[in-house]
Amino acid sequence: VDLRLRPNPEVTPIVLPVDAAISYYEQAALAWEQAAFIRARAAAGDRALGRTFLDAIPAFVWRKSVDYRQLQEIGTMSERIRDHYAGGQDFGPGYDLKRGRGGIREVEFFAQTHQLIHGGRNPDLRTRKTRDALQALADAGIVPGEEAAMLSAHYETLRTLEHRLQMVGDHQTHSLPSDMAAMDNVARLHGLADGAALVAHLQPVVAQVGEVYDRLIDQYRDKAGDSVATDNDAALSGDPRKLADQMAAMGFTDGEAVAARIEKWRGGEVRAIRSEAARGAFENVLPMLMPALARAPDPARALNRWDDLIRSLPSAVNIFRLLEARPALLTLVADILSHAPVLADALARNGQLLDRLIDASALDPVGSVADLAARFARQEAGDDYERLLDSVRRQVNETRFALGVQLIEGAADPLDVAAGYGRTAEAALRTLADAAVREFVAVHGVIPGSELLILALGRMGGGVLTHASDLDLVFLFSGHFDRESDGRKPLGATLYYNRLAQRVIAAMSVPTAAGALYEVDVRLRPSGAQGPLVVSIDSFLTYQAEDAWTWEHMAMCRARMVYGSDAPCAQLMDGLHQVLAAKASNPAITADAMKMRGDMARHKPPSGPLDVKLLPGGLVDMEFIIHMSQLTHGITPRPDLADAIDDLQRAGLVNANFAKAYRLMARLLVVLRLVSPDSSLPDEVSRPLVAEAVKARDWDDMLAQLDAARHGVMQQWQASFGQSRDQLNATPGDAS
């Protein structure tokens, strides 16, 4: 019986009060204890009390934010085991099946390490059994399926042979016999000819497991080949003059100023670096951090934003340990700090966003709406509505941050990233609307034959967002307005759905402890701010047919159902398309649109030389051309502008370069929302990034392409409306 897994086994009695054990695990436990509790269960004695204890410490085992110091400790512990059991490391007679390289313990540690990293966010990984854990990791896409299957099969082989060894002498042993006669005996028990056959059988098993686990250790420990530091791995000098020389040698143009900044950090001026633990972690990461910042495209800007980042954090221990454990992230952080003020600000507000970047999957496309919604909706036992709000905010913001990093790193086309932003928002809306409906129904019941519907417009309707996009939504309900709910607090349909919609909007927009989510714009509902928040399908279609303005019909050209069951959603969209088709014969549409665009041009001029939305010949002008062509020619609108342009091009209503111009400006808009959110010219150092993202050769080529695209749009304006775009009296803009 081994009692060494109790808290502080060297100094504590073998039995502890539950509260004392909980306090220990919350405050002082080590990584190996965290890993051990993956397999804990209440087995004997007062099992109800045992389960109560285990229910009290899941936050210790399954952490939302991974402490990478602990992962390093796990790797270190494995290496110590190898060193301690050196006699059982060499494969052959005497090899330790449990503790040897490539043995049982390494399969278990491989699974447990991945469980510790990802189990805080994915409860499906919280299984005690090693083979079940490997399968769950493969199902979640965290470990390659073939690797998980190989480890699982080898684990079975190793465990089976361990049992054979213990059956022979009826005692606890994990080592192959040193005597070849005894080895032959074990081999025959296993169905093999002799000891040599057993060694040959085990050799590839042990080799493959050892290779996989070696890679895991390398991943979480600072190996020379993985470090981004070069000759500066030694601790940075405490002498200001020597430190300044070190900074200059790294490439900073003003070594003395950088050294002075470091001295302020070391001197306790920054709250996040005042504790002993924080100072130690900071000193460990400095020799890798400073060369990474020196190599940044704009070292001075990266340094200043790093300073802003650590000054904004209440505690920086975990982020320092993460960067120490994963030095490759330092280059990524330097790129973010140099190029993307929006992402840098987000990181300053929430350093845990870096957790999303711990593996290469962060640079993969996000999943489908259904997959994202399933992940966002996953809850743990005991979680309530408020915790779900926090969880969705955390996951959505991590996903949006990762999508932004994909742009900065050039890992994805901006149009694909925009679609990823759109799927993320839709999945969040589905998840939180479902949760709000459940909470509301528990009190007020349901209205038979009726349900909440949500219509998306604008960029959300098109399914392509930027990092900064708000959500244009219209809330509706199916069924008749004179129905009443059947709950303990019944409400009439109109009041019921107006209150429910307010709940959904709050779920999507109100900041919680986990931060903000999305701004929700409901001004496109019937009668705007003067009208009710929610109306029935019939009322909505009647308004669109009889009372809506031309600008409202244009907005409806990007309408798309994002919440509700199929039948009422189809009813609404069919009715809306019939209303829009009936407007083709209205001669006032073009005049109304020209007046509206002229008013916009005069009262909302471009905010900067790269405001590709509002510049003459920009995206807003393109949208006017698209929607006016759809309305006046009776073309069924499609919310995705790229699809809509294809329809118009087939109908001969736009020129051949119109689609190319849209792609250029749409890409540029998505990138600039991160690099230059005020639409000003980005700094010189970021211009190559922007040009590459929009598939231009360089910055000058990008400007030339943009100028040509805008000119082409203005020509199309003339062709579509019979008047010059300049007649709108817009404030001229110039991106040169």
pLDDT tens-digit map of 208-226? 999 998 888 776 654 323 3
471 SS3 class: strand
Question: For residue 23, what pLDDT is reported?
Answer: 82
Range name among 25-29, 68-72, 307-311 with the lowest pLDDT average: 68-72
User: Average pLDDT in the 522-526 region?
Assistant: 93
User: Structure tokens of 597?
Assistant: 């665009």
Express each pLDDT in 700-712 by its tens digit: 999 999 999 999 9
Outline where DSSP puts E strands in 224-355: none
Q: Are 198 and 190 in contact (CB under 8 A)?
A: yes
Report the chain's C-alpha Rg in angstroms: 31
How far is the C-alpha of 149 from the C-alpha of 336, rounded, in Å?
Answer: 38
User: Average pLDDT in the 673-681 region?
Assistant: 92
Question: For residue 65, what pLDDT is reported?
Answer: 67
Rounded mean pLDDT of the chain?
88
User: Structure tokens of 249?
Assistant: 């040698």
Range name among 324-333, 422-431, 664-673 with the lowest pLDDT average: 324-333
Express each pLDDT in 170-187 by its tens digit: 888 899 998 889 999 999
User: Structure tokens of 98?
Assistant: 């449990």
Phi/psi at 491 (5° precision): -135, 150
pLDDT surpassing 80 at residue 405: yes
Q: Kindly report each contact of residues 659-662 with a partner whose C-beta sits within 8 Å and lies 24 or more positions away, as own/partner.
A: 660/709, 661/622, 661/709, 661/710, 661/712, 661/713, 662/619, 662/622
How far is the C-alpha of 532 from the C-alpha of 549, rounded, in Å?
Answer: 17
Question: For 192-254, where are the alpha helices, taking DSSP H only?
Answer: 195-220, 240-250
User: Average pLDDT in the 14-27 region?
Assistant: 85
The full length of the chain comes to 736
pLDDT surpassing 80 at residue 455: yes
User: Average pLDDT in the 154-183 region?
Assistant: 91
Question: For residue 83, what pLDDT is reported?
Answer: 56
pTM, two decimals, is: 0.77
Q: Are 64 and 120 in contact (CB under 8 A)?
A: yes
User: Average pLDDT in the 52-75 region?
Assistant: 73
Choose among 107, 372, 93, 128: nearest CA to 216: 107
Question: For residue 234, what pLDDT is reported?
Answer: 56
Question: For residue 185, what pLDDT is reported?
Answer: 92
- How many other CB atoms are there within 10 angstroms of residue 383's CB atom? 13
Phi/psi at 67 (5° precision): -95, 105
175 SS3 class: strand
Question: For residue 231, what pLDDT is reported?
Answer: 38
SS3 readout for 8-44: CCCCCCCCCCHHHHHHHHHHCCCHHHHHHHHHCCCCC
